[in-house]
Amino acid sequence: MNKIVTENAPKAIGPYSQGMVFENLVFSSGQIPVNPATGEIEGTTIETQAAQSCKNVAAVLEAAGSSMERVIKTTCFLADMADFPVFNQIYETYFVSSPARSCVAVKTLPKNVLCEIEAIAYKE
């Protein structure tokens, strides 16, 4: 296994890595909408936060030699399922391969953000 480390995604805020590579599979840790340049939460709306979370997933995948087009499965967490339609609009612009997905509402997310996304992808 190889640990993924990139400055283009938020640093881990606990005892975990940004992601791991096992053979040709890439597993990203859940990405919340932290802007890696500032360390701050990006925006207050689901649109802005979903976009930043997607960008963070993309950065982790790219650091591992993969891409958004190679995502097999995602798991998405929403603080409010009422945000589901808008979240989907943002999500589909980034995850163009329409990977398998689970999307659930949770009581609270780290730093009280509105969404978190994790992904499994492959690399050549």
120 within 8 A of 73, measured Cβ to Cβ: yes
Is residue 77 scored above 90 in pLDDT? Answer: yes
Sign, CA torsion 16/43/94/81: positive
3-state secondary structure of 83: helix
Identity at 38, one-letter amino acid code: T
Digit-coded pLDDT (tens) for 62-73:
999 999 999 999
Copy the structure tokens of residue 112. Answer: 């009280």
pTM of the entire structure?
Answer: 0.96
Q: What pLDDT score was predicted for residue 12?
A: 86
111 within 8 A of 41, measured Cβ to Cβ: yes
Digit-coded pLDDT (tens) for 89-103:
999 999 999 999 999
Q: Which residues are catalytic?
A: 103
52 within 8 A of 34, measured Cβ to Cβ: yes
Average pLDDT over residues 110-121: 97
The whole-angstrom separation of Cα 117 and Cα 63 is 17
From the list 41, 16, 42, 21, the residue with the least C-alpha distance to 124 is 21
60 within 8 A of 29, measured Cβ to Cβ: yes
